[in-house]
Structure 1
Amino acid sequence: MSSVSQSRPWDVHRLPSAEGRTFLVTGGNAGIGYFVAEQLAGTGAVVVLGSRDPAKADAAAATIRMRVPGARVQHLRLDLADLPSLEAAVGELDVDRLDAVVHNAGVALDDPPRLETGDGHELMFGTNHLGHFALTRWLAPLLSAAPAARVVTVGSFAARSERLDLDDPQSRRDYRPKRTYGRSKLAQMSFGFELDRRLRAAGSTVLSVVAHPGGALDSLTPSRPPVHVAGPGARLRAAPAGLLVQGKDAGAWPVVRAVLDPEVAGGQLWGPRVFGLRGAPRREPVPAHMADRAVAARLWAVSSALTGVDPLLGR
């Protein structure tokens, strides 16, 4: 990948080459993940769409190829809600190294009832956090084989107002969908920061970076049929909101920068420039509750017990 000069500002429309590199984007068939994959495909990299739905992944890959001539896009069947399947899924990756994984896929529920994965975990916590926690373990050898790989965790603005309850991590006693979603994203972000601390302590060349899309609305997102179709009426009605938030294409910018920019360091948080809600990507200070090492260490222990694996211990 070509270096970006410190004297030239990062340009979201002129990304550096990533020819010869391979990136995995979980949930790359829709939403933020689709636009991350589309933008990364334009750098010359091989982009693997991690998706449990082959038809949706095929549609996304075809759309990317139509917009990015020569794009090299593949599909990996990946179900983060099915923890026992992840080791075999990673075994299907036909690569000898992985230059970055974007932990993007997620579930967001607005209403009860509380749902569980097949493994008995609350669906949002189990998919958004535990699935990526376990996936990191199985990807570890491929990431370590790359000269400077990155784990990029996609967080959410919703995590800022939440706090983890590690006595009830799966919301068995008090389930409120929006709060549970926010906590699942906070768990992801806390894990991303703790992962980097442990990677540094182990002397690893792999970096862990956290990014978030700010306020990203479907109604402000450009059409990518059949992946996403934005009607003119919906876009017109949403236009005033564009003063504060943005579409999912722009929401992908901080994530893409976290993957590509050689100036990005492990343990950093990246988000949109304007109030953390919209605009070009910039580095943000890490909120204190996300940087709490004691909470993160306890979350790691709880997650390891629930998944049966440890991302850095090889079990």
Structure 2
Amino acid sequence: MAVSWTFADIPDLTGRTAVVTGASSGLGLVVARQLTAHGATVIAAVRDVGKAARVLPGSEARQLDLADLDSVDAFATGLHEEGRTVDLLVNNAGIGGHQGRRLSPQGIEMQFATNFLGHFALTGRLLDLVRDDGRVVHVGSGLYRLFRVAPPFDDPAAERSYSPSRAYVASKLANLLFGLELDRRLRRAGRPVRSLVAHPGLAKTELNDDIGHPALRATMAVLQALIGRPAERAAVPLLFAATDPGARGGVFIGPGNRKWDDRVHLDPVVAPADDPALAGRLWDRARAWTAVEYPPDLR
């Protein structure tokens, strides 16, 4: 199924509060600017607060390093202490592995720690602040259909083997598994909060600016020319998931395969992301890695 949808279809968000991770550049910046333009109060959860303040005037820029679980805890604690409520959490921030294997402060491979595990912890810490008609949006990647990988259940530090591309796809698959599992648990508990998964396709953002290998850099340049979309167009599915009244969970929201197809596609989720047992195993491991407990009715 596909629907025609543009930024003009974003409803009035006056009085709403949105937390957007990675809001100072790329897709997150487009999302944050559009939410602000339609009346929302945006809390920009970023590593570089000064940059966010410059590019997002009028937003609340707050420091958050998703790779560091202590930073996630401090960010969430601040919102709790202020008695804030959240209508929308956009788990957008992400990194590539072009700088080689690195570890988070807690010893987790950096892409997995940043792209997935930090968002799992953040969502768990903020969920009690999300209002009943709120939603959580997780950003995955359609690459999970092409590269058969699995979350690093037994090797979260990637000590035994490491491939930057496979680690990236594994982290994005984890986001997809998590978003769908959260949706199932919310519905089973009778909660009206929505959990949706979306992806931008191949977006022309800063994520690939630091590719060092000449052959990979050349390949990416060709792919960008053939199917790449600028951030403004690539962010459309994310904003649809975040704001459209009819957006629903259980599907993968993204662009079409053809570069100039600007409709939002609601695609079925395929293996391995459609496996509840795999998602449940990831959920349990993420709880152990983060020491973050979700509410009892979601466990």
Q: TM-score, normalised by structure 1?
A: 0.81
Q: 1:277 to 1:193 in 2, by over 3 A?
A: farther
Cα separation, 1, equivalents of 2:46 and 2:223: 33
Note if 1:88 corresponds to 2:71: no
- Contact map agreement 1:28 1:50 (CA 8 A) in 2: yes
Cα separation, 2, equivalents of 1:268 and 1:311: 23
Structure 1: which 5+ residue stretches go unaligned?
1-7, 63-71, 220-237
Q: Of 247, 256, 265, which residue of structure 1 is paired with 2:239?
A: 256
How many equivalent residue pairs?
278
- What residue is the counterpart of 2:227 in the other structure? 244
Name the amino acid aligned to 2:93.
A
1:49 is displaced (CA, Å) by 0.7
Q: 1:241 to 1:308 in 2, by over 3 A?
A: closer
Q: Of 264, 286, 290, which residue of structure 2 is paired with 1:281?
A: 264
Equivalent residues in 2 for 1:128-277 (5 A)? 128-143=115-130, 146-160=131-145, 161-164=147-150, 165-218=152-205, 241=224, 244-275=227-258
Q: Of 69, 74, 89, which residue of structure 2 is paired with 1:101?
A: 89
Runs of 4+ off more than 4 Å: 238-243, 275-278
Note if 1:20 corresponds to 2:7: no
Cα separation, 2, equivalents of 1:309 and 1:88: 13
Question: Aligned to 1:33, what secondary structure does the other structure show?
Answer: helix
The percentage of counterpart residues that share the same residue type is 40
- Contact map agreement 1:79 1:86 (CA 8 A) in 2: yes
- What residue is the counterpart of 1:77 in the other structure? 63
Q: Of 27, 31, 36, which residue of structure 2 is paired with 1:36?
A: 31
- What residue is the counterpart of 1:46 in the other structure? 41
1:128-177: CA deviation from partner (whole Å, max 9, x where unpaired): 1110011011101111xx13111100112333323214233442211011
1:189 is displaced (CA, Å) by 1.1
Cα separation, 2, equivalents of 1:304 and 1:240: 37
Cα separation, 2, equivalents of 1:283 and 1:19: 27
Note if 1:126 corresponds to 2:113: yes
Cα separation, 1, equivalents of 2:166 and 2:180: 21
1:280 is displaced (CA, Å) by 2.8
Name the amino acid aligned to 2:49.
P
Q: TM-score, normalised by structure 2?
A: 0.86
Structure 2: which 5+ residue stretches go unaligned?
207-220
Question: Aligned to 2:266, what secondary structure does the other structure show?
Answer: strand
